[in-house]
């Protein structure tokens, strides 16, 4: 990546939407612009876990304003991620379709552990380099992420469904602060977070860091009241709880440093933070300047370099964990990429490289389901990918990868896929043909076959002597042409 390149991250949080624009310089990203809008989309989930029309509209309106600033950015230099509210929302697809149109860029709904990894990446890049073992805490609107890490590596990641918006709604619904309300909120938070005690034991980390909204708000309030800047001591939290109790209601809280948009959710956030301090035996927490959005920016750098893309390491880990036949996976991978180049051209561009890389991942994992059962292993493999903890991947990427694995053999009508999508069709066909040509589990002879495309028509030509030499492969290729008949695409096999 060239020095001076602008990168942008959009964070669709449960409480706020944020836009971060940075300039890449000598391996680092320097902030150019930061925008934040309090959307409180998390409070717009109804009892059926559906976003209300008003909550969706607030999100679309904000994204329209962000889109104006992002006009002209290449797609490869922008990434938008959505977190817990859209993980939960049953009607998220309705929201996301229009959100994509409004913003002009796709929006990745990321899993909780992936959110935690990206948070740590952002925090670590804005802290002094050190070998210390760190605990990082991020209390969001509807989820809280806990991470143990060293350097730039997140070693233990988890996301818990407890946050400042959801806890404020549930335990301080009218904004009233009472001792009983705080006790209920803290006990409930401990019940959710109790399993974190062993995973984040006090002996496993040296310093605790807090990122993002709730923790930043508490730091600002304590600093304005005379506590050490950039820190949250345990007695400072107890003072803040007593101050809120004395006020009795969120509307009557008068605290220097407390922003107006934080007032309605400070009670829930404080209750969660108090629970974390007690459970994890934290005496003092240090403010971290980095957060999810910075992690997204640094992750964009890795995605542009295949050798450092975490997704590649995740694919290798999954293949190893499920004891995939590595030789066959590599064989299918090489043939599939070669066939894809024959279909769409072998030009070198960032977009072409991404298409090859994603096809390669599907090829490496196409037999991942055989460890579960050889019968219908492609279905088992797709299920594993749809539900795996896969660092680096967004949920839609795993879904797409699962579709390729599910579709690499068998009938095509079982796929709930868009056969109007040229990229997907070409990847799927290349993978299916590669599996056929490698069916004998040895390197195939490709010298007698060729592929050509003309619109929606794809032609595979076999030299007569090649078809006679490999009659089983020729038979399977002719059957493949039949499999595509009802997809709206045409594959003809000649020779």
Give the span between the Cα atoms of 192 and 161, in whole angstroms: 7
Q: What is the DSSP string of 184-252?
A: HHHHHHHHHHTTHHHHT-GGG-SEEEEEHHHHHHHHHHHHHTTSPTTEEEHHHHHHHHHHHHHH-BGGG
Buried-state track 19-43, b at ≥16 Cβ within 10 A, e below 16: bbbbebeeeebeeeeeebbbbbbbb
**Ordered per-residue pLDDT tens for the chain, 495 residues:** 788 999 999 999 999 999 999 999 988 899 999 999 999 999 999 999 999 999 999 999 999 999 999 999 999 999 999 999 999 999 999 999 999 999 999 999 999 999 999 999 999 999 988 899 999 999 999 999 999 999 999 999 999 999 999 999 999 999 999 999 999 999 999 999 999 999 999 999 999 999 988 999 999 999 999 999 999 999 999 999 999 999 999 999 999 999 998 999 999 999 999 999 999 999 999 999 999 999 999 999 887 765 567 888 899 999 999 999 999 999 999 999 999 999 988 777 878 888 999 999 999 999 999 989 888 999 999 999 988 888 888 888 999 999 999 999 988 887 888 888 899 999 999 999 999 999 999 999 999 889 988 888 999 999 999 999 999 999 999 999 999 988 888 899 988
Phi, psi angle pair for 175, to nearest 5°: 80, 5
Matching residue, tokens 């279909």: 343
Domains and CATH numbers, the chain: 5-110 (3.30.420.40), 127-288 (3.30.420.150), 306-444 (1.10.3210.10)
pTM: 0.80
Q: What DSSP designation does 172 have?
A: S
In whole angstroms, what is the distance from residue 82 CA to residue 396 CA? 12
Instruction: Enumerate the β-bridge partners of residue 284.
Output: 233
Cα 49 to Cα 252: distance, rounded to the nearest angstrom: 31
Tokens read off for 490: 């045409």
Q: Do 370 and 377 meet the contact criterion of CB atoms below 8 Å apart?
A: yes
Token pair of 200 as six digits: 């984040």
């Amino acid at each position: 990546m060239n020095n001076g390149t602008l990168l942008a991250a959009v964070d669709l949080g449960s409480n706020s939407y944020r836009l971060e624009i940075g300039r890449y310089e000598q391996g680092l990203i320097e902030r150019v612009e930061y925008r934040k809008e309090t959307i409180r989309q998390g409070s717009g989930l109804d009892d059926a876990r559906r976003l209300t029309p008003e909550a969706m509209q607030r999100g679309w309106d904000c994204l329209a304003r962000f889109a104006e600033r992002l006009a002209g950015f290449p797609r490869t230099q922008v990434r938008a991620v959505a977190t817990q509210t859209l993980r939960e929302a049953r009607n998220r697809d309705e929201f996301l379709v229009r959100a994509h149109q409004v913003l002009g860029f796709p929006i990745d709904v990321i899993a909780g552990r992936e959110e935690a990894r990206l948070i740590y990446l952002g925090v670590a890049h804005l802290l002094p380099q050190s070998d210390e073992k760190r605990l990082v805490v991020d209390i969001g609107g509807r989820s809280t992420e806990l991470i143990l890490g060293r350097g730039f590596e997140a070693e233990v990641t988890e996301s818990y469904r407890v946050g400042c918006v959801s806890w404020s709604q549930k335990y301080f619904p009218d904004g009233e602060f009472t001792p009983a309300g705080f006790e209920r909120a803290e006990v409930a938070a401990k019940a959710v977070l109790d399993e974190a005690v062993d995973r984040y034991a006090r002996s496993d980390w040296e310093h605790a860091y807090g990122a993002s909204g709730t923790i930043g708000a508490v730091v600002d309030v304590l600093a304005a009241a005379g506590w050490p800047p950039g820190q949250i001591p345990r007695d400072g939290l107890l003072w803040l709880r007593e101050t809120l109790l004395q006020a009795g209601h969120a509307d009557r809280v008068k605290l220097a440093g407390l922003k107006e948009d934080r007032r309605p959710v400070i009670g829930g956030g404080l209750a969660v933070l108090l629970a974390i301090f007690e459970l994890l035996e934290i005496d003092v927490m240090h403010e971290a300047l980095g957060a999810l959005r910075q992690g997204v920016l640094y992750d964009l750098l890795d995605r542009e370099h295949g050798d450092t893309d975490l997704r590649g390491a995740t694919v290798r880990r999954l293949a190893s964990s499920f004891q995939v036949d590595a030789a066959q996976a590599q064989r299918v991978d090489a043939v599939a990429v070669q066939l894809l180049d024959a279909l769409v051209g072998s030009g070198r561009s960032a977009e072409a490289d991404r298409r090859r890389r994603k096809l390669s991942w599907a090829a490496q994992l196409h037999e991942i389901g055989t460890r579960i059962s050889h019968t219908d292993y492609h279905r088992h493999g797709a299920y594993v990918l749809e539900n795996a903890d896969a660092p680096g991947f967004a949920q839609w990427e795993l879904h797409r990868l699962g579709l390729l694995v599910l579709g690499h053999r068998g009938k095509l009508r079982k796929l709930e896929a868009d056969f109007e999508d040229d990229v997907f069709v070409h990847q799927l066909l290349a993978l299916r043909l590669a599996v056929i040509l490698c069916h004998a589990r040895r390197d195939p002879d490709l010298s007698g076959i060729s592929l050509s495309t003309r619109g929606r028509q794809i032609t595979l030509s076999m030299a007569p002597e090649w078809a006679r030499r490999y009659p089983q492969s020729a038979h399977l290729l002719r059957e493949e042409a039949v499999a595509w008949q009802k997809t709206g695409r045409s594959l003809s096999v000649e020779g």
